[in-house]
Chain A
């Protein structure tokens, strides 16, 4: 009993230290344009994008048990709808991105209606097929460049800011906002009444249903929310790239496989997991990016190794041994 209490006490104080460290890192990142070079900023923008994608995939798979391998559908839709709204509807870029995400969320409703007829592995394959349908459809739209894609007109890109440095600064803060807000949103959600429902579904769907949680409706809402935020990220990603093609926009590897790697390595079913996973993923990528194919083989090897050693991932393994919690969601009866 006493030793248990002591670990608990130490756990809490270490948690506080970790929280302060994280806060300092975020504060540092908030002023990154001051200290970071151009290529560092570009890397950080990618980090934030993947952080948001990972938080969304984790919310979906880690809490509601919906294993989607078709989230690239929403990245691609976000990108394409953003281009279309900016180029043809004349919306300002900063409005076109969220507008595209709202449109994607609307599209996610019938898409989810179809995908939700399928269970477990069939759902996974179904989402993949749906994403392929969107990819093939995008390639048919001549106005958006068909299969070879399209670039964002220079004049539009310049509407963000006149100078290149200015544009990069604006883009950096969009990425920063999308990434950090994804974590805060998930945290807020998990601390609310709906967090209780989501965590209950994660742990036992039949029991959650029997305790009055309309599991199907909750899962659907999360599916649409994840589509929205994934699309928001997608819109930003292609603003940064300034060019979109069906293959890049609806890439399974880039927008889903890497994201699954991040969540699984970091620790599925927690807020901390995807954060840790993103750091590990980019650290590995920076070290090994010029190894060619070996880099992907190494990634696969690491994923298998983590599964064998502790399938709960890095944070899951830490969590099982300590009481650490950076983003506490627990409700305490005092």
Chain B
């Protein structure tokens, strides 16, 4: 399998604070990769570096065999990197359908029929009944689904999903997992940041654990989760979360 994404020694500092610390990994095309780690570990920062929202302090990012380290976010989207935002950023003044049209008009558009394509994505993400409603009228959960739908409409080769399962009920979560499996099976490479580990492991074949900006474990999900270090970090999260 060809490598779709390759990070080499990627660092990101905000002043004295290191949020990405020498991150290196390769990702084969078609893989579904999960990223877990405590809050503030630098997971979303990593997405910002891959998507181009933030510039790396040092290191290189390669996408589809091209060095994209200095390529702006919009251009990376046109090359096929799409993302959902952890905190939804809908275009509130536009309809749900128009939100998708933006992505399909300006993204990695190979769509012959943007309308049919958007309809299909809205259908798959359960937003079809709301297609012509203003995105600003959506509930939080619908906004999360819109994040996914909009990212799909841009025609991605690599999809970055940032905590889209948070707050879902068990049934909704199951539905989402099925949707993401479908996307994976259609050949799109996926990186998914998620706290809900059982949802994540249902989809991904590889897991990366990040703590303090560093990769501390990676590999096959069941083995990674059995790692004592990961258990310590992860149990730490659970305890903190319950306390909060």
Binding site for B on A (CB under 8 A): 193, 196-197, 199-200, 202-204, 206-216, 269, 330-333
Contact A204–B98 (Cβ < 8 Å) = no
CB proximity of A260 to chain B, nearest CB, Å? 21
User: Which residues of chain A have C-beta atoms less than 8 A from B98's C-beta?
Assistant: 196, 199, 330-331
Contact B108–A212 (Cβ < 8 Å) = yes
Chain B 149-168: CB-based contact to A (< 8 A → 1; otherwise 0): 01000100000000000000
User: Which residues of chain A have C-beta atoms less than 8 A from B25's C-beta?
Assistant: none
Q: Which of B85-93, B170-178, B204-212 lies at the interface?
A: B85-93
List the count of A-B residue pairs having beta carbons below 8 Å apart: 98
Contact B150–A211 (Cβ < 8 Å) = yes
Q: How far is the CA of A207 from the CA of B83 in the complex (A)?
A: 9
- For B95, give the chain A residue with the smallest CB separation: A330
B181 interface residue (CB < 8 Å to A): no
Contact B89–A212 (Cβ < 8 Å) = no
Q: How far is the CA of A333 from the CA of B130 in the complex (A)?
A: 10
Q: Which of B16-24, B29-37, B73-81, B182-190 lies at the interface?
A: B73-81
- For A323, give the chain B residue with the smallest CB separation: B134
Contact B131–A333 (Cβ < 8 Å) = yes
CB proximity of B227 to chain A, nearest CB, Å? 33
CB-contact partner of A211 in B72, B95, B103, under 8 A: B103
- For B106, give the chain A residue with the smallest CB separation: A212
Q: How far is the CA of A332 from the CA of B131 in the complex (A)?
A: 8
A-B contact pairs, 20 of them (CB 8 A): A193-B105, A196-B105, A203-B90, A206-B53, A209-B72, A209-B74, A210-B83, A210-B85, A211-B74, A211-B102, A211-B103, A212-B108, A214-B75, A216-B72, A269-B93, A330-B95, A331-B97, A332-B97, A333-B97, A333-B131
CB proximity of A272 to chain B, nearest CB, Å? 13
Contact A213–B91 (Cβ < 8 Å) = no
10 A-B pairs besides A200-B102, A207-B89, A212-B106 with CB distance below 8 A are A196-B102, A199-B102, A202-B93, A203-B91, A204-B90, A204-B92, A207-B90, A216-B72, A330-B94, A332-B132
Contact A331–B101 (Cβ < 8 Å) = yes
Contact A333–B91 (Cβ < 8 Å) = no
- For B105, give the chain A residue with the smallest CB separation: A193
Contact B94–A212 (Cβ < 8 Å) = no
User: Which residues of chain B have C-beta atoms less than 8 A from A333's C-beta?
Assistant: 95, 97, 115, 118-119, 122, 131-132
CB-contact partner of B74 in A196, A214, A331, under 8 A: A214
Name the 10 nearest CB pairs between A and B, nearest first: A212-B106, A207-B89, A212-B77, A203-B91, A212-B107, A333-B97, A204-B89, A211-B103, A333-B131, A214-B74
